[in-house]
Amino acid sequence: MIEADDPDVAWATRLARARRAERMLIRLGWLVIAVSAFALIVEVLAMAYGYDDLADGLVVLSGIVLGGILAGAAAFGAGVNIGINAERLEREIARGAAGPRG
């Protein structure tokens, strides 16, 4: 909870927190996508060298795509969404600060 007497300080704190969350989620999204892409390559190589048969390999590949890559994309998208909304809030605060206070 933000404990600030000045509403401007409270909003600035919230915006800073949103920017940190944006960066963290975007990095997390890229990390999950990269690890999942590496896992896809490893599984394809395992299938090519005969460690996994075709049916097991396809199940693992679909699990990697659905569980890994889509989770990374969701984290990335959430970070972008937080960033867009933080930008909107920042513009609204600036627009409100330029106008009359009441």
- Give DSSP secondary structure letters for 29-95: HHHHHHHHHHHHHHHHHHHHTTSS-HHHHHHHHHHIIIIIIHHHHHHHHHHHHHHHHHHHHHHHHHH
At residue 2 the predicted structure's pLDDT band, cuts being 50, 70 and 90, is low
- Of the listed ranges 2-16, 18-32, 59-73, 80-94, the least confidently predicted one is 2-16
pTM here?
A: 0.78
Q: Which pLDDT score is estimated for 100? A: 58
Q: What angle do CA 4, 13, 24 make, to 5 degrees?
A: 150
